[in-house]
C-alpha cells in the first residue's frame, strides 16, 4: 500500500512539474511566434516615428532605455536602503525584539500591497506637490515597490545565520562593522536572489509607472522628463486595431522576456558563484 501511494504521489509531482514547464514554454512560444516576425534591428535601435502607431517606420528604443533607467536606478536605491535595514534587524537588535517583529510585519504588509496602489499613492503625492509624470517619479515609486521584496528575501536568509557565530565574533573582540562583514559574506547569495526577484518585478510592472513615469516617444535626458517603459509599450501597441502594430507589441514583449531571461541566468550564475565561495 505504501509503495502504491508513493507511486501515485510521484506521478502527481511529475505531472505538476510538467504543467508548470508547459506553461512557461507556451508563453515563450506564443510571444516568440507573434513577435519574431516583427522583430528587426530598427525596432530595437530607433525611436517611434510619426506614423509608428499606425504601422509605419520606427522602433521602441525609448521604452527599452526608459525601462533600464527606471530599473537600474530603483534597484540601486532599493539595495542602499534595504541592506542597512536587514543588518539592523539581524545584527543590532535582539532575536526576539518587539521592534523587529513590528518592522517585519510592516514589510510583509507592504509586500502584499498591489502595484496599482503604489502607483496611485505616488500619483496623489505628485499632484499634491504640483509635479508632473517624470522619470524621477517612476524611479521613486518602483523603489518603494521593490524595497519590501529586497528586505523580505534578504531577511529570511539573514535570520538563518547562526547567532552563535555573531556571539563568537563579539567575544573575540570584533566590532559590529567586522561582524556585519561576516554576515554579508553569508547572505551574499540571498542579496543576489533578492536583486533578481526585484528586477523582475520592477521591469515588468506597468501599473505603478503608468501614473508616475508617464509615456513619451523620446528618451528622457533629465529626471524631470517622462519616460516610456516596455510594459506600457506592449499595452499601447496591443490596444491598436492595426495588426502590424499588434505584432510589434509582441516584439516588445519578446524583448522584455529576453531581458528577464538574461537577468535570470546571470542571477543564477552569481548566486552559484557566491555559494561556492561561501563553502570555501
The 10s digit of each residue's pLDDT in 108-132 is 898 888 888 888 888 888 888 888 8
> Do 111 and 11 share a structural domain?
no
C-alpha dist (Å) from residue 235 to 3, 113, 144, 240, 268:
51, 22, 23, 9, 30
The overall longest dimension of the chain from CA atoms, in Å, is 71
> Do 85 and 6 share a structural domain?
no
Range name among 40-49, 158-167, 187-196, 214-223 with the lowest pLDDT average: 158-167
Q: Considering only CA atoms, which of 237, 260, 261 is closest in space to residue 250? A: 237
> Do 208 and 245 share a structural domain?
yes
> Do 249 and 186 share a structural domain?
yes
> Do 110 and 77 share a structural domain?
yes
Q: Mean pLDDT over residues 44-54, rounded? A: 83
> Do 125 and 253 share a structural domain?
yes
> Do 212 and 251 share a structural domain?
yes
Write out pLDDT tens, residues 256-276. Answer: 888 888 877 877 777 677 665
**What's the pLDDT score for residue 1?**
63
Domains in the chain, number? 2
> Do 149 and 68 share a structural domain?
yes
- Give the range of the structural domain holding residue 27, as residue numbers without chain letter: 2-37
> Do 151 and 217 share a structural domain?
yes
- Does 53 reside within a domain? no
Q: Considering only CA atoms, which of 245, 134, 246, 264 is closest in space to residue 204? A: 264
90: which DSSP letter?
I
> Do 44 and 33 share a structural domain?
no
Q: Mean pLDDT over residues 74-95, rounded? A: 86
**What's the pLDDT score for residue 142?**
92
**What's the pLDDT score for residue 200?**
81
CATH number at residue 229: 1.10.3720.10
> Do 192 and 235 share a structural domain?
yes
Given a cut of 60, is residue 243 above it in pLDDT? yes
- Does 164 reside within a domain? yes
> Do 7 and 143 share a structural domain?
no
Write out pLDDT tens, residues 200-228. Answer: 888 887 777 888 888 888 899 888 899 99
Amino acid at each position: 500500500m505504501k509503495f502504491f501511494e508513493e507511486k501515485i504521489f510521484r506521478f502527481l509531482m511529475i505531472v505538476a512539474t510538467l504543467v508548470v514547464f508547459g506553461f512557461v514554454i507556451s508563453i515563450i512560444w506564443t510571444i516568440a511566434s507573434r513577435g519574431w516576425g516583427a522583430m528587426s534591428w530598427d525596432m530595437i535601435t530607433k525611436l517611434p516615428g510619426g506614423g509608428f502607431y499606425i504601422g509605419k517606420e520606427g522602433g521602441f528604443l525609448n521604452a527599452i532605455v526608459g525601462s533600464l533607467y527606471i530599473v537600474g536606478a530603483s534597484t540601486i536605491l532599493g539595495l542602499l536602503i534595504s541592506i542597512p535595514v536587514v543588518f539592523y534587524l539581524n545584527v543590532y537588535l535582539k532575536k526576539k525584539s518587539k521592534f523587529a517583529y513590528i518592522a517585519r510585519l510592516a514589510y510583509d504588509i507592504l509586500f502584499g500591497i498591489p502595484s496599482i496602489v503604489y502607483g496611485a499613492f505616488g500619483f496623489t503625492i505628485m499632484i499634491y506637490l504640483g509635479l508632473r509624470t517624470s522619470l524621477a517619479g517612476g524611479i521613486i515609486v518602483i523603489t518603494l515597490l521593490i524595497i519590501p521584496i529586497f528586505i523580505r528575501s534578504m531577511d529570511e536568509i539573514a535570520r538563518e545565520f547562526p547567532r552563535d557565530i555573531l556571539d563568537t565574533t563579539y567575544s573575540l573582540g570584533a566590532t559590529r562593522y567586522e561582524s556585519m562583514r561576516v554576515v554579508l559574506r553569508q547572505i551574499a547569495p540571498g542579496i543576489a536572489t533578492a536583486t533578481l526577484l526585484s528586477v523582475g518585478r520592477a521591469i515588468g510592472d506597468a501599473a505603478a509607472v503608468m501614473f508616475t513615469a508617464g509615456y513619451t516617444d523620446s528618451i528622457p535626458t533629465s529626471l524631470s522628463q517622462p519616460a516610456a517603459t516596455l510594459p506600457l509599450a506592449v499595452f499601447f501597441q496591443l490596444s491598436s486595431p492595426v495588426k502590424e502594430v499588434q505584432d510589434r507589441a509582441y516584439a516588445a514583449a519578446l524583448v522584455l522576456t529576453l531581458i528577464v531571461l538574461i537577468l535570470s541566468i546571470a542571477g543564477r550564475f552569481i548566486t552559484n558563484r557566491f555559494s561556492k565561495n561561501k563553502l570555501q
